[in-house]
Amino acid sequence: MDLINPDYFIHAANLLLLCAYLVRDMLWLRLLALGSSLCAIPYFILHPAALWAPLLWSAVFAVVNLFQAWCVYTERRPVKLTPEEEEVRRLAFEDLPPKKVLQVLSLGSWGTVNPGERLLESGKRPDILSFVVHGTVHLKKNGKEVMDLVAGNLVGSALLLSGAPADLDAFAAGPVRTIYWQIDTLERYLCANPDTRIIMQRHLSRDLAGKLVTYSDRFHAA
C-alpha cells in the first residue's frame, strides 16, 4: 500500500478535468470528465480513511458522463439508409442530411397501392400526403385523364397548400410504391423543424411547377 501514493490519482483526475474544460467537442468533454471521475475513485479508496461520500459522488458523475457520451456518440453515428429511403432522398431531400431524412420518413408509412386503387377522391379533402417512389398514378377529372404522376411526385400537393377539397381523382396505373404522411403530423413536425420545412416547401414548389408544365404541354398537344 505504501508503494502507491494516492495523490497521483487525484492529480491525474484534475488534469483530465482541466483538459475537459479546454476542449470544445462535447464528446471529448464527456469522455475526459468520465476519465477524471474514474481516476478520482482510487484516491478516495486508498486514502488513509476511505472517503465514501466523495467516492459515491464520483461514481454518480462517471455514470452520468458515460450516459451522455453514449448519447452524443449515437447522435453522431452515421445513418445508413435503405435503398428505398435513399431513393426518396435522391428524389426530394438531397439537401437534407441522412439523419433528417430518416426523421421525416419515420413520421410516415410505407405502402404499395394496387392497380386501379384510388389515392385521391374528388370532392373530399385528403388527410394524407402521398409521395410516389415507384410506379405511375393517373389523375382524372370527370372521368377524363388529366396527367400522370411518376416517381418524385406528390399526390395532393396543391390541396396541401390550399386546404380545398380535391377536384379530381387519382388512381394507381399499376403497382405503386408510396410513402404517405398524415398531414397534421407532418405539419407539426415541419413547424418544429424550419430547415426541413424549407426543403419540403422547395420540393412542393418544384412538384407543382412540374405538374403545370406537364398539364400545359398535354393541353396544347390536344
Query: What number of other Cβ atoms are within 10 A of residue 73's Cβ?
Result: 12
> Exposed, middle or buried by CB within 10 Å (0-12, 13-18, 19+), for 4?
exposed
CATH architecture of 83-221: Sandwich (2.60)
Does pTM surpass 0.85? no
DSSP letter assigned to residue 128: E
Three cell numbers at 27? 464528446
| pLDDT number for residue 1 | 44
Report yes or no: 101 and 140 within 8 Å, Cβ to Cβ.
no
Q: Which amino acid is at 220?
A: H
Helix (H) or strand (E) holding 105, with range, is helix 98-107
Q: For residue 134, what pLDDT is reported?
A: 93
pLDDT tens-digit profile, the chain (222 residues): 456 788 889 999 999 999 999 999 999 999 999 999 999 999 988 888 888 899 999 999 999 999 999 988 887 887 888 999 999 999 888 888 888 888 899 999 999 999 989 888 888 888 888 999 999 999 888 878 888 889 988 887 766 666 667 778 889 998 999 999 998 888 898 889 888 888 888 888 887 777 776 656 565 555
Q: Are 79 and 99 in contact (CB under 8 A)?
A: yes
